[in-house]
Amino acid sequence: MKPEEKGMRPEKTAMAVEIEERVAGALYMILADYNGMNMTMINDLKKTLRENGASYNVVNNRMLNRALPTDASALLKGQTSMIYGEGDVVEVAKVIKKFTAKNKKPLIKGGFVEGKPVNAQDVVELSKLPSKDVLRAMLLGTLLAPATQLAGVFNQKVSTLVYVLNAVKEKKEQEA
């Protein structure tokens, strides 16, 4: 049921609309339990996430569950924060993993990447992948390898022809 239909207070309706907009505009969303984090830790995490094009917000579980396209009530237990954005999810997963290794918090619950649900282990696996730029470079190298090899073969054939002609020239010079 939509918030407007239940007769919610205007401020709650505004919060629900804001969460829906964030969910709709995000390429990925990682849910975490921020229990035990102080403001200094949260601000440090927000800063590093912001540098990688991600945002961090504490959300109400019930409002977030309404905004999600699928039921995520299994993930929405306890205190929940969402890390979301439109950039490279791999870089954000690396930031979260590094921050968690240092501070033992936040505890990753799972999330959604391009609309598909992922669990906490999937987020850890994402952090092990190379970034999009590195993957693009690897793909480009793979695509260009046959052309580079073909150019090398042609260059070798031309060099062989030059060596043969040079040898014939030297032989004729010696005979003369």
Give the DSSP letter string of the chain.
--HHHHT--HHHHHHHHHHHHHHHH-SEEEEEE-TT--HHHHHHHHHHHHHTTEEEEEE-HHHHHHHSSS--TTT--SSEEEEEESS-HHHHHHHHHHHHHHH--PEEEEEEETTEEEEHHHHHHHHHSPPHHHHHHHHHHHHHHHHHHHHHHHHHHHHHHHHHHHHHHHHHHHH-
pLDDT digits 0-9 by tens, 93-104:
999 999 999 988
pLDDT digits 0-9 by tens, 61-81:
888 888 887 777 778 888 899
Q: Are residues 91 and 14 in the same domain?
A: yes
Q: Are residues 39 and 125 in the same domain?
A: yes
Q: Are residues 39 and 104 in the same domain?
A: yes
Q: Domain containing 98 — which CATH number?
A: 3.30.70.1730
pLDDT digits 0-9 by tens, 27-59:
899 999 998 899 999 999 999 999 988 999 998
Q: Please say if the pLDDT value at position 1 is more than 50.
A: no
Q: Are residues 103 and 154 in the same domain?
A: no
Q: Are residues 123 and 137 in the same domain?
A: no
pTM of the model: 0.70
Direct distance between the N- and C-terminal alpha carbons of the chain, in angstroms, rounded to an integer: 102
Write down the pLDDT at residue 83. 92
Longest dimension (CA), the chain: 108
Q: Are residues 35 and 93 in the same domain?
A: yes
Q: Are residues 110 and 169 in the same domain?
A: no
Q: Are residues 56 and 124 in the same domain?
A: yes
Q: Please say if the pLDDT value at position 60 is more than 80.
A: yes
Higher pLDDT, residue 105 or 162: 105
Structure tokens at 150: 């073909």
pLDDT digits 0-9 by tens, 117-174:
888 898 888 888 887 788 888 888 888 788 777 777 777 877 787 888 888 888 888 8
Domain count, the chain: 2
Residue range of the domain that includes 143: 130-176
Q: Are residues 125 and 149 in the same domain?
A: no
Q: How confident is the model at residue 2 (pLDDT cuts 50, 70, 90)?
A: low
Q: Are residues 134 and 106 in the same domain?
A: no
Q: Are residues 63 and 20 in the same domain?
A: yes
Q: Are residues 121 and 153 in the same domain?
A: no
